[in-house]
Amino acid sequence: MTTAHRARGAILALLLVSGACANPAASPGGSPRATPDVTPSAVPSPAKSPSADITADLQGLLDTRREMYGAPGGLALFRDGEATWSAMSGTADVEGAPITPETRFRIASITKPIVATLVLRAVDRGELSLDDVVAEVLPGSLRVDPPVTVRQLLNHTSGVFDYGNEGDPVADVELLTDPAMKAEVATLLERYAAGERVIGPDRVIVALAEVHPRYFAPGTGYHYSNTNYQLAAMVLEKISGRSLSDLLRTDIVEPLRLSHTTIAPPDIASPELRGYGTSAADGSLVDLTDDLVAFGNGGNGGIISTADELLTIMQAMVSGDLLPAELVEDMKTPAMQSYGLGLATYSLTCGAFFGHEGAVNGTGSIAIVSDDGARGVVIALNLRRGDDPRLPSLADNVLCGLR
């Protein structure tokens, strides 16, 4: 087997087993649907519980779902007003490391509403407009015609190819017309196949996406695309002259007084919650935590956080602590399907909630909050395999069943 074939097999296996970054508005088969799945799960919703019993009920729900799915570990944090309940189930890794309130995990595509918030903060400061054309802000990144706007990146109506979930770098590199870029990608794949820990540059990921046609003319359809948020982060870095990591620190982490939330890159440290897939050969668990090749600038899913800090961010975002009310409404309002500017709408059995799901490198997660931000939940499991862990239904059990 050649190095290129080994690279192709490794990358495709990674994408199939762990997913690049989850689409909260698509069915397991990938086609859009109106709202994320909240069909009642096999675990019955508990009757409304007195406050003293909520911790036990939350623990029971998490334990049951983790054991049914087969994940080594899981965590959940539920907040209602000033009250918070948490549960930790199983272990952070197969060696038995404990899960604690400070356990960090890869939040994957829940990064997207955070990046959208950073873009909207730049809009609020007058540094860019949602109607700015991406190819004019980033010359040479996207084909000029048809033009794609910043807004269309954030709500996934750009039509730009989703490289994270649908790309094949070994085949696509042959379609690149720039010899220098072609050589760079070939070298990257060789290093990856040799077992080196590498991160594909965002401009390379976008270039590989651009060898594919648009799904549709910009603004005429919806198709979830990780490439959209690589581009959104590139726009932010270009107009600000600062890294996405620095913007995350000054606009989110420091104002909310967080201490455990970072982004890869530059933070390539391992989170405590390891992420696992299953081997196609024998079904054994495979550690995927630190495979960062598809992360680029991190805008598509690079943030690492704890349950408490992630829920704090989501609550601040939806309640208007980070943005003016009109921009929060833009985030919540779907352009098509159930997706606004970085936020998906979840129609739970007790009302509408807003947030996102994430799936990358063997970790699946969800973070959703109520319309006013007062009530919310974060859940994560450290296994991604072929079937759906149905985290929205578990979130529904928590948010609508625990009182």
**From CA 379, how far away is CA 307, in angstroms rounded?**
7
Taking residues 302-307, what's their average pLDDT?
98
pLDDT of residue 44: 42
Q: What is the DSSP string of 302-316?
A: -EEE-HHHHHHHHHH
What does residue 132 show for φ and ψ, rounded to 5 degrees? -60, 140
Taking residues 288-297, what's their average pLDDT?
93
CATH class of 3-22+33-401: alpha beta
**Burial class (CB within 10 angstroms; exposed 0-12, middle 13-18, buried 19+) of 389:** buried
Beta strands per DSSP E along 73-132:
73-80, 83-90, 105-106
pLDDT of residue 22: 66
If DSSP codes are grouped into helix, strand and coil, which group holds residue 320? coil
Q: Determine contact, residues 100/270, Cβ cutoff 8 Å.
A: no
Count of alpha carbons within 13 angstroms of residue 9, beta-carbon side:
11
Claim: this prediction has a pTM higher than 0.85? yes
Instruction: Please determine, for residue 46, whether its predicted confidence score (pLDDT) is greater than 90.
Output: no
pLDDT of residue 32: 32
Report pLDDT digits (tens) over 162-183.
Answer: 998 999 988 999 999 999 999 9
Hey, how many other C-beta atoms are within 10 angstroms of the C-beta on 219?
A: 17
Report pLDDT digits (tens) over 201-253.
Answer: 999 999 999 999 999 999 999 999 999 999 999 999 999 999 999 999 999 99
pLDDT of residue 317: 98
If DSSP codes are grouped into helix, strand and coil, which group holds residue 379? strand
Q: Looking at the DSSP assignment, which residues form a beta bridge with residue 88? A: 75
